[in-house]
Amino acid sequence: MTTQETFDQIIAEKQSGNYPELDTLNSTSKVSVWRLLVWIFAFFSKAIQELFDSFKLYVEAVFAKNQAGTLQWWVAKIKDFQLGDTLQFLDGVFKYAAIDDTKKIVKQIALENLNQIVVFKAVKADVDGNLIPLEDDEPTQLLQYINTIKFPGTFVSLISQPADDVRLSLRVYYDALLDKTIIETNIKLAISDYISNIVFNGKFIPVKLIDRVQQVAGVVNPIIVSVEHKNYNEPDTEFVPVGDFFIAKAGYAAIAHEYLTLELLADV
């Protein structure tokens, strides 16, 4: 309810005849003292309602995050993992004796239920912010952490590996009046931008990739000749065509230089 609606509701109630003691307040001036007081009350009533609504959303978010077993709970817990530290059973729960954000290495986390097994996909980031798999004994430590806080009877698996490979071939018609080299460079940047902005464990959608390439200045008509994908660990013979979309087994994908073919044709 807006401030004006609250004000109008109070005025209507006052004029209903149910409060004869207020009949002496009969000025119709917008700047009369009693009307100004009603407006002030309506204004702060609206402000307080907004504060309560905001607080309610905050409480609900905290509750969802701390309700054990939910997706939000797991994501928060995995991101709280501290490399090299041991969980302790304190105050009835497993937690670290001291919080050290410098030891929190998990950058992205996703969960999937596959054949009654909860599969965790987790990666960290390099100094440039690029997603990379956990290294050395990091996966072992994270899996031990998960096994410590999980519910009894829950079967878990951890995937942390290099990005899935995408092999892409595009035929792009471009404005012949513009510089071909610049257009080609910008197309490659657009492809990289699209892939890097897919949410972790999200869908790679060829149509959206084409939409992104279409936005490059000078591009007239981009056409997908072929688009394929495979698990990073599989041989090149394992590339399979992408249909409407695919979700990377690693949770994220990349196109190596040797897997990108661009054919630029002047639109004349």
Last residue of a domain, one of 159, 176, 195: 159
Q: Are residues 195 and 241 in the same domain?
A: yes
Per-residue model confidence as pLDDT tens digits over 42-73: 888 888 888 888 877 776 665 555 566 677 88
Report the predicted TM-score, pTM, of the whole model to 2 decimal places: 0.69
DSSP conformation letters of 165-202:
EEEEEEEEEE-TTS-HHHHHHHHHHHHHHHHHTSPTT-
Last residue of a domain, one of 27, 49, 65: 65
Q: Are residues 258 and 169 in the same domain?
A: yes
Cα gap 96→106, rounded to integer Å: 16
Average pLDDT estimate for 179-192: 96
Last residue of a domain, one of 129, 159, 189: 159
The whole-number pLDDT of residue 60 equals 66
Considering the chain, what is the average pLDDT of its residues? 90
Highest mean pLDDT out of 10-14, 116-120, 253-257:
253-257
Q: How many domains does the chain have?
A: 3
Per-residue model confidence as pLDDT tens digits over 186-226: 999 999 999 999 999 999 999 999 999 999 999 999 999 99
Identify the band that residue 99 occupies on the pLDDT scale cut at 50, 70 and 90.
Answer: very high
The DSSP bridge partners found for residue 231 are none
Which domain, by its residues, includes 194? 164-266
Query: What percent of the chain has a predicted confidence (pLDDT) above 70?
Result: 96
Do the Cβ atoms of 213 and 192 come closer than 8 Å? no
* Burial label, 184 (beta-carbon count in 10 A; 0-12, 13-18, 19+): middle
